[in-house]
């Protein structure tokens, strides 16, 4: 075979190799683009199913178990709500793209939504914390005092640890108590409405220079407390004397900080943390604390007020539906139908 024949064969083999290589690259790019598109559509379907769960929660809070199929963006969600007993509902939400079948992509979330009732003994404690309670003394070893029963879904500790919690708390102590968690979630809409009627509603902007009521009572003759609803971080310090049933929270969890020579004639409820620092002064709270976690530091006198607790109980504030668990029924990386 002459040199020209050998060259022709080599060129032909090279061209075949390049063709195979190019075809592989094109095929790989096509597969990657297809996978990326499917993953995007699957993610969008997941977001739609999440929107369906949010809608189910909204409808249950407004006394409806019916959620119509709803178009949203390029797709839609459809939801079924089934009562499971004991104030518990099983919810299945399917998000799909496009709006009508056959679907290019769909995802399903299964969830449990319940309305946990307020425990019978919820208002019997001076502190009800769904999390930990930490009590810290001053440099002079003064812990203050907690007058009443205390319950915690977590631990109750003191610093220094040589001082047992029982030396500070005069009532019964219950730690790692499963009945204390989660914190019963009160119906914020009703509480917000009451506070607005009373003129006791505060947003973050209002908290720059707030004027809080100084008495627990809005109308003592009728047994009506001041309901003070706060959507922002509550800070009380240095000489503040306030009163009422303080609700710190809403759809967002906020922090409550109390420090210095403060007097509170009433109770505080918040799903978030409460930090109380009396320092070397006298900080007095006549009422109850219901919170996600509690830090008490320094010279504090916290005293259970049975009358205030009973008035808040008798006001009929109910709990609200909450999402307690959910699961995605599909691995997002398994995109084949």
* DSSP-derived secondary structure for 250-295: SSS---EEEESS-EEEEEEEEEEEEEEEEEEEEEEEES-EEEEEEE
Q: What residues does each domain of the chain span?
A: 3-115+322-328, 122-314
pLDDT recorded at residue 215: 97
DSSP 164: -
Decide if 93 contacts 111 (C-beta within 8 A). Answer: yes
- Give 3-115+322-328's CATH code, choosing from 1.10.3470, 3.40.50, 3.90.930, 3.30.1300: 3.30.1300
pLDDT recorded at residue 41: 86
| 3-class secondary-structure state, position 8 | helix
Report the Cα 144 to chain-centroid distance in Å: 31
When mean pLDDT is compared across 4-18, 91-105, 184-198, 318-332, the lowest value belongs to 4-18
Alpha carbons 276 and 264: distance in angstroms, whole number: 12
When mean pLDDT is compared across 33-37, 49-53, 135-139, 254-258, the lowest value belongs to 33-37
Closest by Cα among 148, 146, 159, 152 to 130: 152
The pair phi, psi for residue 152, each rounded to 5°, is -140, 135
Strands 173-174 and 150-152: parallel
pLDDT reading at 334 higher than 60: no
Alpha carbons 291 and 323: distance in angstroms, whole number: 19
Q: What's the distance, Cα to Cα, between the start and end of the chain in Å?
A: 56
Torsion of CA 177, 179, 183, 184, to 10 degrees: -160
Please state the rounded mean pLDDT for residues 268-283.
87
> For the chain, what is the radius of gyration of the CA atoms?
30
25: confidence class by pLDDT, cuts 50, 70, 90? low
pLDDT tens-digit profile of 182-241? 899 999 989 999 999 999 999 999 998 899 999 999 999 999 999 999 999 999 988 889
pLDDT reading at 56 higher than 70: yes
pLDDT recorded at residue 337: 45
Closest by Cα among 277, 258, 254 to 267: 258
Please state the rounded mean pLDDT for residues 41-55.
93
Better-scored residue on pLDDT, 85 or 151? 151
Decide if 269 contacts 245 (C-beta within 8 A). Answer: yes
Please state the rounded mean pLDDT for residues 21-29.
57
**Residues of 78-87 as b/e, b for ≥16 C-beta within 10 angstroms?**
bbebeeeeee
pLDDT reading at 26 higher than 80: no
pLDDT recorded at residue 330: 81
Decide if 291 contacts 276 (C-beta within 8 A). Answer: no
DSSP 200: -
Peptide bond into 206 cis (omega under 30): no
């Amino acid at each position: 075979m002459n040199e020209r024949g050998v060259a022709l064969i080599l060129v032909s083999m090279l061209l075949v190799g390049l063709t195979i290589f190019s075809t592989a690259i094109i095929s790989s790019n096509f597969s990657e683009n297809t996978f990326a598109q499917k993953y995007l559509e699957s993610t969008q379907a997941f977001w739609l199913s999440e929107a369906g769960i949010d809608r189910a929660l909204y409808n249950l809070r407004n006394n409806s178990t019916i959620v119509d199929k709803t178009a949203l963006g390029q797709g839609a969600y459809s939801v079924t709500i089934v009562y499971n007993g004991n104030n518990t509902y099983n919810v299945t939400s399917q998000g799909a793209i496009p709006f009508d079948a056959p679907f290019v992509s769909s995802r399903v979330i299964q969830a449990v939504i319940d309305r946990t009732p307020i425990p019978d003994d919820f208002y019997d404690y001076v502190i009800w914390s769904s999390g930990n309670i930490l009590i810290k003394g001053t440099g002079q070893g003064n812990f203050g005092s907690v007058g009443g029963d205390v319950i915690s879904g977590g631990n109750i500790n003191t610093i220094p640890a040589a001082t047992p919690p029982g030396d500070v708390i005069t009532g019964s102590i219950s730690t790692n108590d499963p009945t204390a968690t989660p914190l019963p979630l009160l119906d914020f809409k009703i509480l917000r409405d009451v506070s607005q009627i009373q003129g006791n509603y505060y947003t973050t902007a209002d908290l720059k220079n707030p004027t809080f009521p100084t008495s627990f009572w809005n109308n003592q003759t009728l047994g009506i407390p001041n309901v003070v609803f706060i959507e922002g971080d509550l800070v009380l310090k240095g000489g503040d004397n306030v009163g009422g049933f303080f609700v710190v929270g809403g759809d967002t969890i906020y922090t409550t900080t109390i420090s210095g020579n403060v007097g509170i004639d009433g109770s505080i409820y918040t799903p978030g943390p409460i930090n109380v620092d009396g320092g070397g002064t006298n900080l007095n709270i006549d009422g109850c604390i219901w919170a996600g976690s509690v830090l008490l530091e320094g010279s504090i006198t916290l005293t259970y007020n049975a009358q205030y607790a009973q008035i808040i109980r008798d006001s009929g504030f109910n709990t609200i539906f909450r999402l307690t668990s959910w699961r995605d029924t599909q691995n997002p990386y398994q995109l084949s139908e």
